[in-house]
Structure 1
Amino acid sequence: MNQKHVYILAMAGIITLAIVFLRLSNCVPLPAVFIDRTQSMHSPQPAPQKPSEEYETDIQIENMEQINLLGKTCSLTTSTDPEDVFRYMDTITIRCNTPIMAGGVIMKDEPYIKNEKWVCLDKKYKIVPGNCTIYSFGISSDWSFDDDMDQLFNCKVYCFDHTIHQRDHERSKNIKFFDTGISSVKRNKVDRYINILKRLGHENTTIDYLKMDVEGAELQFFEDVFTRTPEVLNNIKQIGMEVHPSRNKNYMRRYMRYFQLLDCLGFKLMFSQMLDINRLLYKSNGETRSCCYELMWARDREW
């Protein structure tokens, strides 16, 4: 046996002893010594596994945005979860000690009344009969709110609707109707809120109650006032509005944005009610939802 063979046998013995020692000590499992030569440091790495759809739905990514509005810094949460709108509407943030219902249409089936609005007569809002101004957008065939604010409170009521084919007229001594709708632009028979105020000489007038039931055009109203004339909100005490949540995520993000801006300016949610009519209901994430919700905000300050 030559020297070369002795060397090979010696190395084989050393390797065998090393493997036996490692397996007996259980420190390093034998498979760990194998190296996959098919991949190098520069080989493309496997793509990370995509989370399941269920996981993506449960984990919501939120971004914060800050906006300066009327001297206030408003911190907004931009959420990917449309359910945030419903959670917002379910959370009353201010209480009224003296609520009254104005208007409403009686029905033969549940919920037996619809289109009612709620007005808060707490002293700090100073809604004084005979010295109050009401703006009412969206009439259709229901004048009940406007008539109540006239007959019960002797308020000046300014009504607007471009869809009912009526000319400008006076319904009563206190109620004036205009063949005009609300929008974010002036065209045809619709106009911006600021232009309507100017037309009636109310730029600096306190609006005791702004009622709006305009089948989705409230988004245009919000877009206009928040981006161009937020100062007009300073003169509004309370807002009663029918809102129309959608299954469209973009619409829901817009609603959530505007709701947060209202809150930043001191408008607190005082009343919230789902329009519980069977033909308007649908299921979303296991919850019963409606196309329409009645909301009322009051600006939380002494007037």
Structure 2
Amino acid sequence: MRILNSRILIVLTLTTLAILLVVSTWLNETVVIQYSEKECDCGNKNGPSATHGVPVLRNPNQTMLTEQTLQSSNLSTKKTWSEIAEEYHTYVNTVQVKCNNIVRMGKADDGGWDICDDEQYRPKQPCLIYSFGINNDWSFDDAVSKKYGCHVHAFDPSMKQDDHNRSDLIHFHKLGLAEREYTNPQGWRLNTLAGIRKQLGHSQTEIQIIKMDTDKAELTSLPEMVTSGALKDVSQFVFEIHIRVSQSFETEADLAKYEMGLRLLKQVYDEGFRIFKSHQNPWSKYPSRFGPVRYGCHELHMVRVK
């Protein structure tokens, strides 16, 4: 009887282990995702045509240490959710090029932005800067116009102000950035970067800096900015990418969002921009379901290197 009971116990144990193994494998597998424009919501159904390795400098004092490959240009993937999340968070927290002189323009906390003041990237008069997303905080615009003497065109359709000149150098437009020209249900006028540049007579004028803090609008407007060629003559590009913004019910960005974020970042990389500083927005900190504490929003500061 004891032998029979022991055998039954062994069989039950092995059966339980087998079931746990099957469940674990099922949870960690990633179903092939086929993206449609609605699912991706990125304004570019096709994405990049091929996968290219993206070099990443983990130590900006050295020329090249390692290479990270973004494979999100494919419209399907068999990587797991956790692997894609790790690839995304590794990328946005990596410096790709060294800037010796980083200067803070505006507030020390939210509202201010870092600019590379190295000779080859420093704005020189006559110069033009676009600033998207003001939210009644003019600290960046005031500081950058004062330091470099550039004309700053500031855009925010949500502010209760009409078009006006804040100063001789700062010009406000009640206008927002989007992947197409339209007026949304809130009555906000929106346009593409190329459309805005044409409207203001800047299609052939170099832009030294574009700052973009538009609360997720970058996910739809940025692909169009690249494919239209509107970023071709921009020297510095600083923006916040929002992969996870909800504090109440979204515990982790889903796989589709991570794929979309990597695709977007790859488009910006292929356009010639490299990260010289990354800042984690402290308000977006959350406990990841994959273990480490992570941040849902990153301010990426980039310069054009090609």
Q: What is the TM-score normalised by the length of structure 2?
A: 0.70
| Match for residue 130 of structure 2 among 135, 145, 154 | 135
Matched, 1:94 2:92: no
SS in structure 1 opposite 2:282?
coil
**Aligned with 1:159 (options 154, 158, 167):** 154
Q: Compared with structure 1, are the counterparts of its residues 283 and 52 closer, same or farther at alpha carbon in structure 2 (3 Å cutoff)?
A: farther
From the superposition, tell whether residues 214 and 67 of structure 1 become closer, same or farther in structure 2 (CA, over 3 Å): closer
Mark the CA change 1:167 to 1:66 in structure 2 (over 3 Å): closer, same or farther: closer
| Aligned counterparts of 1:291 and 1:248: Cα–Cα separation in 2 | 12
| Aligned residues of 1:66 and 1:74 also touching (Cα < 8 A) | no
Q: 1:282 maps to what in 2? A: 286
Task: Return 5+ residue gaps in structure 2 as ranges.
Answer: 1-18, 34-45, 53-69, 184-188, 245-252
1:235 deviates by 0.6
Provide, for residues 192-235 of structure 1, a one-character-per-residue CA deviation record: whole Å limited to 9, x for no partner: 111100011111111111000000000111132234x0x22211
Work out the CA distance in 2 between the residues paired with 1:57 and 1:155: 53
1:77 is aligned to 2:100 = no
Q: 1:62 and 1:237 mapped to 2: Cα distance?
A: 38
> How far did residue 62 of structure 1 move?
9.8
Kept in 1, the 8 Å contact 2:51–2:71? The answer is no
Counterparts of 1:152-191 in structure 2, within 5 Å, are 152-188=147-183, 189-191=189-191
Over 3 Å counting, the alpha-carbon distance change for 1:290 and 1:266 in structure 2 is: same
Distance 2:142 2:206 in 1: 20
Partner in structure 2 of residue 46 of structure 1:
none
2:149 is the counterpart of 1:144: no
Q: Give the distance between the partners of 2:89 and 2:145, measured in 1 at CA.
A: 33
1:270 and 2:265 matched:
no
Q: Give the match's secondary structure for 2:264.
A: helix
The runs of 5 or more residues in structure 1 that have no matched partner are: 1-48, 106-112
Counterpart code for 1:219: L
CA RMSD of aligned residues (A): 2.5
Q: 2: CA distance between counterparts of 1:264 and 1:183?
A: 21
Match of 2:106 in 1: 103
Report what 1:239 is aligned to. Answer: 237
Matches within 5 A, 1:216-255: 216-227=216-227, 229=228, 231-246=229-244, 247-255=253-261
Aligned 8 A contact 1:62 1:77 in 2: no
SS in 1 for 2:131: strand
Q: Deviations over 1:80-108 (max 9, x none)?
A: 42232111011111010111111125xxx
Q: Give the SS at the match of 2:256.
A: helix
**Closer/same/farther in 2, CA of residues 300 and 59 from structure 1, 3 Å limit:** farther
Q: 2:16 maps to what in 1?
A: none
Among 101, 121, 140, the alignment partner of 1:125 is: 121
Q: Does 1:215 align with 2:221?
A: no
The separation in 2 between residues aligned to 1:62 and 1:185, in whole angstroms, is 30
User: How far apart are residue 121 of structure 1 and its match?
Assistant: 1.6
Aligned residues: 236
The answer to whether the 8 Å contact 2:226/2:268 transfers is: no
Change (3 A) 1:290 1:198: same
Equivalence map 1:33-72=2 (5 Å): 52-55=22-25, 67=48
1:288 maps to amino acid: V
What SS does the aligned partner of 2:91 have?
Answer: helix
